[in-house]
Amino acid sequence: MLRSETAPRISAPELLQIVQASDWDQLRACVQRQLAQLGMCDFMLQTEIASANGASQMQLFSSLPDAVLQQFNLPAEDTTDPVRQHLARSSLPLHWQVEQLCLLHTGQIYPLLKTMGVTQGMSLAVHSKHAISRLDFYSNTVRQEAPSTSVQADALLLGVYLQEAAEFLWRKAAPDQGPVLSTRELECLRWSADGKTSSEIGLILGISQRTVYFHMKNVAMKLGVYSTRHAISRAVMMGIIKPDA
């Protein structure tokens, strides 16, 4: 029997398997089975999870190779990514062609996806009580038209369940873990605690003053404070850096 275009491609038992996944490998396998039913090949979930003290952590979960996935971990200073711009202002899914994004965006994410054989994708923002996610679904088919309304609806439903399952596994792995600072964020924080200005830190680390601002803004956000001075005092209290002797 042929499946109706409007019939759901993902059943309730299949969605239940996602939220009941006991580890990352099982979750990845469950999601990829559902993607095949939607005519897609890979996915990328980038989630910012808020903790109880107001700080947040960025987490990634995907079926992409590490070389591609690490591009999503780079500092998000570049605001030229059309996907990021769309998701920041709209809750509607965005269907895109990789060729177009290679021309519009100066980063390496979309050229790398193209080398993998990805031809198009659909991106959407998924929100929960404690997290905000960017979710990409990728396709290697040659069709140019956007996914049907029913496929988009199924993808959104899959995204909600995927985010819930991933957030559970992250919190299960480190329920009491404090905010995790990157190596560069720690360097900027430590030099700032030593009394260095942002321009001096930039010269020491070989980065721009704007990049120093960016890292310190991330530090303040992760520590749940609103200024560099408060970030330093909070980091000392949490044992992230040692106070001056």
* pLDDT tens profile 194-214: 999 999 999 999 999 999 999
Sequence-separated (6 or more) residues with CB below 8 Å from residue 127: 91, 133
> Do 101 and 85 touch, CB atoms closer than 8 A?
no
> Do 141 and 51 touch, CB atoms closer than 8 A?
no
44 falls in which pLDDT band (50, 70, 90)? very high
Architecture of domain 183-237: Orthogonal Bundle (1.10)
> Do 98 and 113 touch, CB atoms closer than 8 A?
yes
The whole-number average pLDDT for the span 183-198 is 91
Half-sphere exposure of 228 (CA within 13 A, CB side): 18
Neighbours of 182 (CB within 10 A): 15
Domain boundaries along the sequence of the chain: 12-173, 183-237
Ramachandran angles phi, psi of 28, nearest 5°: -60, -45
Neighbours of 241 (CB within 10 A): 18
What is the rounded distance in angstroms from the CA atom of residue 144 to the CA atom of residue 156? 20
Instruction: Note the pLDDT of residue 88.
Output: 83
> Is the pTM of the predicted complex or chain greater than 0.85?
no
Instruction: Note the pLDDT of residue 75.
Output: 60
Q: Helix, strand, or coil here: 108?
A: coil
The whole-number average pLDDT for the span 159-171 is 87
Q: Average model confidence (pLDDT) for the chain? A: 83
Architecture of domain 12-173: 2-Layer Sandwich (3.30)
